[in-house]
Amino acid sequence: MSTLSLGFIVEGLVTVLLVLTIGYCIILNRRLKGLHADEEVLKATISELLTATEIAERAIVGLKATASECDRTLGQRFAEAEKMSAEIDARLSDGEAVLKRISEIAQAARPATREQVARREHVAANTDRGETTLGLREEVEVATARLRELRAQKEGRAA
């Protein structure tokens, strides 16, 4: 019996070890399924990250294109603004020159008018023909002198 019981004990022990091994295999199988499921989730997460990265890259390319276009447009507008500013400055200078000329003409006209009125009164008071001729000559000389002055001023501005 001892042989038989020893064989039973060994077989019983092997059976228990096999049952424990099967149980442990079941536990490992469940863990592997969990890891496999986690692997699928990880693959899905990586796939989503790749998709998001591609979208971000396209967005960056679009932003670069938009920034480049804005820079180009802004450069054109800035150039136009500088051109208009220069044109406005030129027109202001021209306007100031015209205003100065008008002022000079008005200044020249005021004294000339007063002098002419004074001479006419003088001529009217002195009806002698010789004096009248003399007064007219004086007026012609004054007018000629003024014309020379104005021409000299004009030539000075042109130079």
pLDDT at 57 over 90: yes
Cα(159)–Cα(146) distance, rounded to whole angstroms?
20
Its pTM stands at 0.40
Tell me the pLDDT tens digit for each residue of 99-124: 778 777 777 766 555 666 666 666 56
**Residue 126 clears pLDDT 70, i.e. is over it:** no
Alpha-carbon distance of 104 to 99, in angstroms, equals 9
The predicted-structure confidence for 37-49, as pLDDT tens digits, reads as follows 888 888 889 999 9
Q: Which of 56-60, 78-82, 144-148 has the highest mean pLDDT?
A: 56-60
Tokens of 129: 């023909």
Confidence of residue 156 (pLDDT cuts 50, 70, 90): confident
